[in-house]
Amino acid sequence: MTDHKLMNAQLEALVAGVPHPVANMANASALIWDSMDELNWAGFYLIEDGKLVLGPFQGKPACIEIPLGSGVCGTAAAGDTTLIVDNVHEFPGHIACDCASNSEIVVPLHKDGRVIGVLDIDSPVFARFTEEDRQGLEEFARILEANI
Ligand code: SME
């Protein structure tokens, strides 16, 4: 089980006062990778010209562009809502970047009240992500978005 309180305190310490969005997202993805068990991908997609574009991440190379409204990431971004998907193979329009992924959580990121991208975390374990993960990672996103 992830110690979200500890991970969020570590994120705060890593990003506070650092005026470099890419560096902060790179460190944030590395922190998640190091702190959460049973992951095969953790990183960011950022909205650029009306679509999601791959940002800093840990894991295997991934799809570069995702249309808003497509897949788990595009659906979470378009609806401005966190999505937990227990079995990605049952999600309509799921985009399989890494065939090892079986479950996923996607948390929108905001700036000035608008969605600017998503935090996407994938697991090879079905139903890996819990309500506790949602709460912890939404807080993680609030800390990060104040520093990107
Ligand atoms: N599975 C995602 C695509 C991104 S990768 O998993 C890194 C989706 O359907 O949005």
pLDDT tens for the chain, 148 residues: list them: 999 999 999 999 999 999 999 999 999 999 999 999 999 999 999 999 999 999 999 999 999 999 999 999 999 999 999 999 999 999 988 888 888 899 999 999 999 999 999 999 999 999 999 999 999 999 999 999 999 9
CATH number of the domain within which 66 lies:
3.30.450.40
Task: Give residue 14's domain range.
Answer: 4-145
Q: Whose CA is nearest to atom 2 of ligand 1?
A: 95
Angle between helix 21-35 and 131-145 (nearest 10) = 160
Say whether 146 sits in a helix, a strand or coil: coil
How much is the pTM?
0.96
> What is the DSSP secondary structure assignment for residue 12, as one 8-state letter?
H
**Using a 6 Å cutoff on CB, does residue 148 contact ligand 1?**
no
**Using a 6 Å cutoff on CB, does residue 44 contact ligand 1?**
no
**CA-based angle 50:23:71, to the nearest 5?**
35
Give CA–CA dist 132/84, Å, rounded: 11
**Using a 6 Å cutoff on CB, does residue 97 contact ligand 1?**
yes
Domains in the chain, number? 1
**Using a 6 Å cutoff on CB, does residue 54 contact ligand 1?**
no
